[in-house]
Structure 1
């Protein structure tokens, strides 16, 4: 039961990581540290899955969640599953670029991370080589969850850089985190992934999005510093003068 409690609380803990304000950090080195630590956790989890296979708690958590696999739950899981598909995330990204000047300013970065995280998860599926609960196709990490987590954290970061009210930021944060968690839950409920596949997707998506946020922030600060130094209207530092008697 201790293992079960740890696994069932690990996914909400990721949402707490976001809502605690870690993604609203003002220093680029903080975002770099987040990206490094989360991607390190992903690599560690991948090594464990490769070495062990089905991890302790995978079966217990899956059985615990599937106990509530009724008609209404199954219907909701089917709809939530769409949140990790390109048919939903691509239009959502287009709307985000249309509405947000911050998103448009670094649209190449966000497109690169949304596509790149998908390519990385495909590569890790072959490297780790663990099958899904049903069927023989490879499952670690979950592609749907990786895509949803990447988009969710990009949304949270962009919202933190826009001139929005606190209530608007909270709504967007909750929307992004809810999307991420709902997709991960749906992948388990639809017998598509082990819980550790979903956890791996969360870590990979969050880590990739944090790395993109770090890159965007560092380049924005460098550009601002360059503009400040090269601005002829900037106040000049007066050199001290000495009077000669």
Structure 2
């Protein structure tokens, strides 16, 4: 079984993605507001979870080291951006120039949104007397979590568009889910993000993907030089 096509003859192009984006916008803005207002129940919950996971990280150095490798190399934002760049080159080689530009632009918009929110909210990161890792810049939203959500979400849409086989689709779906969830959990475990930073990254990343898909229907050459319909699903 596969997801239904994004659009149908009776539904305007990108309408379902636009609806998803609108729905995701609500919890994203609510969480942003609560973090900005320093809502005490949220801060208390963040602190309780962070202190617990930090104790686990200190007492289990082997797992902590594994998570550091995963977060710094496998799921690092620059690794994700490199994966996106490879996809853009592949599309360009196939002659789908407009699609390659759209994919690069969507990832760039996601990065710009992430950095803008970090600067605007300017939330301090957790501070520990015995840190197991370090990170720079403001905490909200988690750049690792948001970048992984944006890149994995867009690449899944791209695979669906190119009608990959059932086996490839399922493997890609599992890898994407493990990557997005896994990188968020490593950031909390390593004590460099509050849980709500990661949740914000996931929500904002998913919203960015939905907005990008919604706008693609109106992008020049939206059917691409390869002739693949934007709403095609894998078979």
TM-score bin (small chain): 0.7 to 0.9
Rounded to whole Å, the distance in 2 between the matches of 1:102 and 1:21 is: 27
Q: Is the deviation greater in 96-105 or in 24-33?
A: 96-105
The alignment status of 1:132 with 2:132, answered yes or no, reads no
Rounded to whole Å, the distance in 2 between the matches of 1:92 and 1:48 is: 33
Residues 124 and 140, structure 1, Cα contact 8 Å, conserved in 2? yes
Q: Judging changes above 3 Å, is the alpha-carbon distance between structure 1 residues 99 and 126 closer, same or farther for their aligned structure 2 residues?
A: closer
Larger RCO: 1 or 2 (CA < 8 Å, sep 6+): 2
Residues 96 and 103, structure 1, Cα contact 8 Å, conserved in 2? no
The alignment status of 1:182 with 2:170, answered yes or no, reads no
Using the size of structure 2 for normalisation, the TM-score is: 0.76
Partner of 2:68: 78
Q: Judging changes above 3 Å, is the alpha-carbon distance between structure 1 residues 25 and 61 closer, same or farther for their aligned structure 2 residues?
A: farther
TM-superposed deviation, 1:116: 1.5
Structure exhibiting the larger radius of gyration computed from Cα positions: 1
TM-superposed deviation, 1:137: 4.6
More helix by share: 1
Which runs of 5 or more structure 1 residues have no equivalent in the other structure? 1-18, 225-245
The alignment status of 1:35 with 2:21, answered yes or no, reads yes
Rounded to whole Å, the distance in 2 between the matches of 1:166 and 1:108 is: 27
- SS in structure 2 of the partner of residue 68 of structure 1: helix
Partner of 1:61: 49
Provide the aligned length of Structure 1 versus Structure 2: 206
Residues 153 and 206, structure 1, Cα contact 8 Å, conserved in 2? yes
Q: Judging changes above 3 Å, is the alpha-carbon distance between structure 1 residues 126 and 87 closer, same or farther for their aligned structure 2 residues?
A: closer
Rounded to whole Å, the distance in 1 between the matches of 2:2 and 2:205 is: 18
Q: State the superposition RMSD in angstroms.
A: 2.9
Rounded to whole Å, the distance in 1 between the matches of 2:107 and 2:45 is: 30
Partner of 1:228: none
Rounded to whole Å, the distance in 1 between the matches of 2:53 and 2:195 is: 10
Q: Judging changes above 3 Å, is the alpha-carbon distance between structure 1 residues 185 and 102 closer, same or farther for their aligned structure 2 residues?
A: farther
Using the size of structure 1 for normalisation, the TM-score is: 0.73
- Render the CA deviation track for 1:175-208: whole Å, top value 9, x for unaligned: 1121111111111112110000000011111111
Query: What is the aligned counterpart of 1:95 among 66, 86, 92?
Result: 86
